[in-house]
A = this chain, B = another copy of it.
Amino acid sequence: MLSEAELDRICVVLVRARNPANIGAVARAMHDFGFTRLRIVNDFPVPFEAARSAVDASAVLARAESFATVADAVADSRLVVGTTAVGKRDVTHPVLTLAQAAPKIRAAVSGDAPVALLFGSEKTGLSNDEMSHCHWLLTIPMWEHDGLRHPSMNLGQAAAVCLYELVRSDETADLGIDATGVTAAAGDMERLRLLLAETLEATEYTRHHPANSDAAHLRRLVTRMGLEAADVPVWMGILRQVLWKLRRDEPGR
Contact = CB atoms under 8 A, between A and B. Distances in A.
A160 to B, nearest CB: 4
Interface of A: 7, 25, 28-29, 31-34, 55-56, 71, 74-80, 92-94, 96-97, 99-100, 104-105, 107-108, 111, 113-114, 116, 128-129, 131-136, 140-143, 145, 150, 153-154, 156-158, 160-161, 164-165, 167-171, 173-175, 177, 179-180, 182-187, 190, 215-217, 219-220, 223, 229
B76 A186 contact: yes
28 contacts: A25-B154, A28-B153, A28-B154, A28-B157, A31-B150, A32-B143, A34-B143, A71-B186, A75-B186, A76-B185, A76-B187, A77-B186, A78-B185, A78-B229, A79-B182, A93-B220, A94-B175, A94-B177, A99-B171, A104-B180, A113-B180, A113-B183, A132-B216, A135-B177, A135-B179, A135-B182, A160-B160, A164-B164
